[in-house]
Structure formats: structure tokens, C-alpha cells
Amino acid sequence: MATISDRRCDVDFIRSLYEAGMDVVRINSAHLDIEGALKIIRNVREVSDKIAILIDTKGPEIRTTVCDNPINVAKGDIIYIEGNPHEKSIPGKLYVTHTSFAGDVPEGLPVLIDDGDVELKVVAREGAALRCIACNDGVIGSRKSVNVPGAKICLPSVTPKDKEFLAMAAREDVDFIAHSFVRSAQDVKDVQAVLDGFKSEIKIIAKIENQEGVDNIDEILDEVYGIMVARGDLAIEIPYEKIPGIQKMIIGKCIKQRKPVIVATQMLHSMISNPRPTRAEVSDVASAVYSQTDAMMLSGETASGRYPLEAVKTMTKVALEVEANKEKYIEMPASTQTGEISGYLAKVAVKTSMRVGARAIIADTSGGRTIKDMAAFRGENIIMAQCYKKRTMRELALSYGVYADFQAKENSVDRFIHTALKNLTHTHELLDNDIVIILAGNFSGGSGFSFIEVGTVNYLRDRLTISD
């Protein structure tokens, strides 16, 4: 997944990232307006109808207000903080966007500005303001992030700007909404209610960015399509040494529930200004792949960095190398979410594909649930999903090891196999002697998988008595 800015989103640029391995485009609503987002959407769709589009909401965040000039802070300075989004911040007095800030933040807690670059400690509450002391030297600019680890701040889950972007996303039929700072299942329900008002099929990804979100991960998972481990704010809100364990825990829960999981933030951060990653960054990307994540995200590397294409190529190269050497299968019970028979056949297909040395699993799907079921086992063979809806094709861009294509629905299993083999021989260069697993749905009106067959491409094609 790559973040794209409206300042650099021409068709040729997006195409170059797509050809280098980008499957999903992220649009960060915190840094652009509606027109900028529409520009990106139009250009992405001109490149390919397979690229999924995700819009990242601003969510219930707190920021400093505008200041005419950067404010220099020295350790030991007394600085007041007051909630008033309409006032400009000045030396000695910071205004923040949350009006009840002073009432929500107790004495003794740290206030971290700009991803923790400046730490202020709350000394006392004085009227509508908090008196704080600076813990380090630093500079505070306009509209910088404000985090208060340990404080439970009462903010609405959906802001007016979020509602504006949700309406646009519904009109444009984008694929995903990644909602920021999700704290509970109710935050997700609030977003879903807005989308339901537009009768939208957009899927919600919950960004886990604070302790409350981690504590409530199980109830959040029940309400969302997938999870993003947003390590930037998470590492500010929670002690940084706990982040690797939290990342691994969330990935494990998502796999168990057959829901896509994304690892995000600063994966190749040095490539914003350098053409090569650090060894630590390569290890970070590799660790996410070893942990069996579905997807990884680039932020500033592709949105504003000097080497966006190199960043995508680097992430792709590292992922491919690790994929060749990591664990090839996760043993767990068959899912019952798609039906007992369908869940059993999904597990059998993955295990069989490994035992017979298959090139791929070819399966049909309407909504993608059965494909995500197979992907959860993290088998070594790719899943060539033949989707009866283009939306499903794009949604599966987030799922592990899935290559999705659109295929019109046929009226029989044989017709499905015939069409799928004909198409995939061209698009994925299937060879006559390649062994494939065919997994197909019930063509008499049921749902889920009901048919499985194993054979070479040549054998399967020859046994069919269907002509074009």
C-alpha cells in the first residue's frame, strides 16, 4: 500500500508504482481537500481498475493551532495550553483544537507535541488552561499532533471533515475507509452509520493507534473488515518497547478471524531522503512478513519522498525474498464462518496445493469471504481469485497471496473452469503441465465452496467438452 499526494499523482507516476508492486493507494484526508482526493482517484482509475483505493480519515485527533512563526521551546520553559481552535498559538501559549482539553487532561501527565519531539508535563490547571513545563528543547510549528498517553479524552469519533470525506468516498465508490484513532467498537459503528446513510459498500479498516484501541481489539475486530497497526501514534501513546509485541498480537488475532491486517508507519522512513534503506528498516519489513501480515504501507516515502519508486521496489524485493524462506503454512481449524463444508474445502485446498506442488489455487467468489478464508492459512501457493464483482476484486488486493481478476459468472462448474483457465493462461502465464487446484462454488444457488478438483492445466482443459 502506498500513500499518494495530490501534489504528485500523475498517471505515469501511479502506473510506475503499480508495476513495481503497489496494490492499494492510500489517500490521507488529513493533508488534502476534496478536490485533491478526487484528482488522485481519477488518475488511479485511469491506470487500472484493479488498484484498490483507501481513504484515511482524520479521526478524533488533537492538533496545535496555526502559529505565525515556529515556536522555540527550551527545557524548563513554562508553557500554557488551552483548547481554542480559533486562536493562534504564540510563544508561551499553545492553543489546541479540542476545546475541553484542559478539563480532560489531569495534572502530572505528559503532553507530547509533534510525534513526541517536544514533551510538556502538566503542572497545574489554571482556569481554562493547563500550566506545563517543557521537558526538552524543541520547535513547535503549526498544526502539530498532540498526544496525551494515559488520558481518556472525550472526542467525537467522526469529525465534520470526516463526514465530508465519507460522503465523497460513497459517491466515488472507493473501496476502503481507514478510520483513525479507533478506540472502541462504537467508533466503528459511528462510521458505519454514516456509510449506511449513503447505502455504501465501502469496507472499514480500523487504525489502532492508542492503548484504548489495543485494549478493545476483540470488540473492534468484530465490527471491521480489517485492522491497520498504525505504529506512529501507537508508539507515542504506548511505550515503544511494547510495540513489536502488540503488532504480533494483532496480526495473530486478525489471521484467526480471517480479516486483513496492515502494518504501517516508517517502514522505509530513511528513503524519504535516501535512495537506499537502512539495515534496520530492511529487518523491520522482513519482520512484518515473517509475522504473516497481509499488507505493508508506505507513507511519506511515496507521498513526499525523493525516492518513491525505489521505496516500492525495495519493499517488494524484501517481501519476495522473505516469502521464499518463511513458514509456509499456519495450522488452525477450518473456519465455520462460510459454512462447514466450504471451510473444510478451503483448508483441504491449501494443504493439497502444497503436497502436490501446485502452481496455484483457482477459486471463484462473489463477496470474497471464502478467498480470505484460504488466505488465512498463509499457504505457499498463490490464490487466483476469479471475482464476480469488480469491487470484490479490489477488496482482495489487501489479502495475503491473492491475485484477483474479474470474471463474469458462468452457469456451471465446467464453464467456470473453461473460462478461468483460458483467461489465466494469458494473464498469469499458466503452462500446460502446471498443476492447479480448482475450488468452485455451488452453481445451483448455494454459497461457499462445494467443488474441488486437482489436475494439470492440460488435463483439466482436455476433459472439458466446451468450446469458445
Nearest-5° Cα angle at 233, 229 to 236: 120
Q: Distances in Å between the alpha carbon of 267 and those of 178, 183, 333, 381?
A: 18, 24, 32, 26
Tell me how far apart the alpha carbons of residues 436 and 438 are, in angstroms, rounded to a whole number: 6
C-beta of residue 178 within 8 angstroms of C-beta of residue 53: no
Cα 296 to Cα 263, 304, 321, 398, 432, distances in angstroms: 5, 18, 15, 9, 34
Catalytic positions are 26, 63, 207, 265
Buried b (16+ CB within 10 A) or exposed e, 407-419: beebeebbebbbb
Q: Which residue has the cell 482436455?
A: 462
Sheet holding 402-406, edge to edge: 402-406, 382-387, 360-365, 435-441, 449-456
Closest C-alpha among 121, 83, 124, 120 to residue 100? 83
How many other C-beta atoms are found inside a 10 Å radius of the C-beta of residue 271?
A: 25
- Sort 372 into a burial class: Cβ within 10 Å, 0-12 / 13-18 / 19+: buried
Alpha helices in 105-226 (DSSP H): 160-172, 185-197, 211-215, 217-221
